[in-house]
Amino acid sequence: MPHWADISYQDEATLQSSQTQPALTIGTRGSPLAMAQAEEVRDLLSKVHGLAPDTIAIKVIKTSGDIILDRPLSEVGGKGLFTKEIERALETGEIDLAVHSSKDMSTSLPEGMQICAFLKREDVRDAFISLVAKSPDHLAEGAKIGTSSLRRAAQFKRFRKDFRIVGFRGNVQTRLKKLADGVADATLLAIAGLNRLDQDHRATLILDERDFPPAPAQGAICIETRLDDARTTQLAAALSHRETEIRVLAERAFLEKLDGSCRTPIAALSTLEGDRLTLFGQILSPDGSQAFEAEMTGTRTDGQQMGFALGEKLIAEAGPDFIAQFNR
Same domain, 229 and 109: yes
Same domain, 280 and 308: yes
Same domain, 230 and 259: no
Q: How many domains does the chain contain in total?
A: 3
Q: In terms of C-beta density within 10 A (0-12 exposed, 13-18 middle, 19 or more buried), how is residue 19 classed? A: exposed
Same domain, 8 and 113: yes
Same domain, 54 and 110: yes
Instruction: Note whether residue 215 is domain-resident.
Output: no
Same domain, 229 and 188: no
Tens digit of each residue's pLDDT (9 = 90 or more) over 156-179: 999 999 999 998 877 778 888 899
Same domain, 56 and 99: yes
Instruction: Note whether residue 115 is domain-resident.
Output: yes
Instruction: Note whether residue 213 is domain-resident.
Output: no
What range defines the domain where residue 131 resides? Answer: 126-206
Instruction: Note whether residue 40 is domain-resident.
Output: yes
- CATH number for the domain including 168? 3.40.190.10
**Is 104 annotated as catalytic?**
yes
Same domain, 115 and 131: no
- Among residues 104, 126, 185, 229, the one annotated as catalytic is 104
Check: CB of residue 258 under 8 Å from CB of residue 311. Answer: yes
Tens digit of each residue's pLDDT (9 = 90 or more) over 256-284: 999 755 578 999 999 999 999 999 999 99
Tens digit of each residue's pLDDT (9 = 90 or more) over 111-135: 999 999 999 999 999 999 999 999 9
The HSE-up count of residue 278 (CA atoms within 13 Å, CB side) is: 7
pTM: 0.88
Per-residue pLDDT at 40 exceeds 90: yes
Per-residue pLDDT at 4 exceeds 60: no
Instruction: Note whether residue 175 is domain-resident.
Output: yes
Instruction: Note whether residue 283 is domain-resident.
Output: yes
Instruction: Note whether residue 245 is domain-resident.
Output: no
